Amino acid sequence: MPFVFSCSSSCDSKNEDAIQPTPTLPDEQFTDEQLLDMVQKDALKYFWDYAEPNSKLARERYHVDNPSLDANIVTSGGAGFGLMTIIVGVERGFVGRDEAVSRMATALGFLENADRFHGAWSHWIDGTTGHVVPFGNDDDGGDLVETSFLCQALICVREYFKDGTAAEQALAQKADMLWKGVDWTWYTRGGQNVLYWHWSPNYEWIKNFKLEGYNECLITYVMAASSPTHPISTAAYTQGWARNGAIQHGGSRYGIPVIFSYNGSPGNVGPMFWAHYSYLGLNPIGLTDQYADYGQLTQNHTKIMYEYCVDNPYNWNGYGENCWGLTASYTRNSNGTVGYTAHSPTNDSKGVITPTAALSSFPYFPEACMKALRHFYQDKKDVLIGPAGPYDAFSPHYDWVTKRYLAIDQGTIAPMIENYRTGLLWDLFMNAPEVKAGLQNLGFNSSTYNF
C-alpha cells in the first residue's frame, strides 16, 4: 500500500498538478499489476512533485526531514532518468500528456541554455542559473557518462513525441538538437581509442578517467557511436571499452557465469546499477556482440545478486528471498551516520539493502523482483514507503531506514518496470535509426530488432 501522506512544508499543497495518492484499504491484498502500478506511480512523484522548481528537472536528492537541502541542484544523469520516468507516467495515465509536454519543454529549454563543455553537461547544474556546480574539487566541467544517460533519454523523448501535436513535435526537435550537440570525439582526448569521463576548462584532463569495461558506461559508447555529428571509431569500443577482449571473464558464482570482468569485482558481479543505467533504453534481450550475450549477462548479474543475498555469508538479519539487492545508495556507517557507497557482493559490510536494486531488475528476474516488491509494499510499508515510493536504503539488521531519495536510484524504477511490462522505452530507443546504425558499427546484433 502506498504511504498516504499529509502535506507540510515538505510538500507543495498548492500544486494542483501533483500526483494524487492511490486510494487503498489497509488490509487489501493487491494483485501483481496493482503493485506494479503503485511503485511506478510513486517513483514518478520524485520527478513530478519534487522536481527542481525552475528547471523542472530532477534534483540530486530529496530528504523528507530536510526538504530544502540542495533543493536547486540538478543532476544531469538523474534528469535523463526523470524524463524517461515521465514518459512512463504519460503512457500509464498518471500525468496529463499536455502538462508533461509543457514541463519537458521547460526542462529542455533549460538544458539548451545551461553550461556545456564541448557539448557535454556537467554532473551537477544550478537549477536557478544553469551554471555548473562542481561535483568535486577538479570536476567542474563536462561529465560524458552523465551526459550519455541524459542523451539516452533525449532519444526516447524525440521518438515518443515526434508524430504528435505541434508542441510535441517542437519538443522532439529540441531533444534531437540537444543530443546531436555533444562532441563525443573531443572526449577521446585527441583521437585516442578510448573515451574519457571528464574534461574541465580549468583542469582539462586532470582526472584522467578512461571508460574501460565493464561498469555502467556501456551506453556512453553506444551514444558516441550513434552520433551523426561527432561519432567515435569502432576501435575506441574494441580497444578502449572491451580492452581487446580482456573484458571477458570465464568465472562463475553460484554456478552462474559472470561473463564479464566487473571492474573492482574480478570473478564476481558489481553493484546492480551496472545492469540498469545503460539499459533503460538499450534492450539487452537478444543483443549480442563478439564479447557477450547481453541478455544473459544482465540476467546472470541479477541471479547472482539474488543468490548472494539468499546465501547471506555475513548473516545479516533480514536478507533472503524477499529482501535482496545491493547497489550504490545511501548507507549506514558504523557510527550510525549516513554515508554513500556502491554496495555489492564484494562490498557488503554494512548490511544495507537498496530497494531500487531489485525493483529495477524486473526484466531480468521477475519472480524474485515481485517477491521483493511485495515485501517492501506490504511487510515493510509502514517504515519503508514514503512520499515518493521506497526510501533509498535500509538495513533490516540494524532496524535502520534513511528517509531520503536519490534521483539516480528512484529514476530507474519506473522505466525498467515498464520495459518489463511493455518494452516501451526499449522500443523507443532501439528503433531510433541512429542507434541501430551505431550499434551495428560497434559490431552488435539484435534478434529482437532484426539487425
Which amino acid appears at position 149 of this protein? F
Half-sphere exposure of residue 173, counting CA atoms within 13 Å on the CB side?
A: 8
Name the region of 232 (left: φ>0; alpha: ψ -120 to 50; beta: rest): beta
Q: Please write down the long-range contacts of 90-98, taking CB distance under 8 Å and 24 or more positions apart.
A: 90/160, 91/418, 91/422, 91/424, 92/37, 92/40, 92/41, 92/418, 94/19, 94/40, 94/41, 94/44, 95/17, 95/19, 95/44, 95/48, 96/17, 98/167
pLDDT the model gives residue 85: 99
> How much is the average pLDDT of 294-314?
98
Q: Would the pLDDT of 26 be above 90?
A: no
Domain 32-446 in CATH 2.30.38.10? The answer is no
pLDDT the model gives residue 19: 81
pLDDT the model gives residue 2: 32
Q: Would the pLDDT of 292 be above 60?
A: yes
Q: Would the pLDDT of 127 be above 50?
A: yes
Q: What is the DSSP string of 71-113?
A: TTEEEHHHHHHHHHHHHHHHHHTSS-HHHHHHHHHHHHHHHHH
pLDDT the model gives residue 23: 56
User: What is the rounded distance in angstroms from the CA atom of residue 359 to the CA atom of residue 305?
Assistant: 13
pLDDT the model gives residue 4: 32
> How much is the average pLDDT of 21-47?
85
Q: Give the pLDDT band (50/70/90) at residue 10.
A: very low
Q: Would the pLDDT of 11 be above 70?
A: no
* Contact status, residue 104 vs residue 167, Cβ threshold 8 Å: no
Percentage of the residues of the chain whose pLDDT score is greater than 90: 92
Q: Give the pLDDT band (50/70/90) at residue 24.
A: low
pLDDT the model gives residue 265: 86
pLDDT the model gives residue 172: 99
Model confidence over 293-303: pLDDT tens digits?
Answer: 999 999 999 99
Partner residues linked to 120 by β-bridges: 117
pLDDT the model gives residue 266: 82
Residue-averaged pLDDT of the chain? 94
pLDDT the model gives residue 5: 29
Looking at per-residue pLDDT, the higher value among 68 and 27 belongs to: 68
SS3 120: strand
Residue whose cell numbers read 507540510? 8
* Contact status, residue 139 vs residue 210, Cβ threshold 8 Å: no
Model confidence over 86-101: pLDDT tens digits?
Answer: 999 999 999 999 999 9
Residue whose cell numbers read 570536476? 139
Model confidence over 200-235: pLDDT tens digits?
Answer: 999 999 999 999 999 999 999 999 999 999 999 999
Model confidence over 406-440: pLDDT tens digits?
Answer: 999 999 999 999 999 999 999 999 999 999 999 99
Percentage of the residues of the chain whose pLDDT score is greater than 70: 95
- Among 441, 446, 442, 413, CA closest to 429: 446
Model confidence over 164-207: pLDDT tens digits?
Answer: 999 999 999 999 999 999 999 999 999 999 999 999 999 999 99
Model confidence over 395-409: pLDDT tens digits?
Answer: 999 999 999 999 999
Domains in the chain: boundaries: 32-446
Question: What's the pTM?
Answer: 0.95
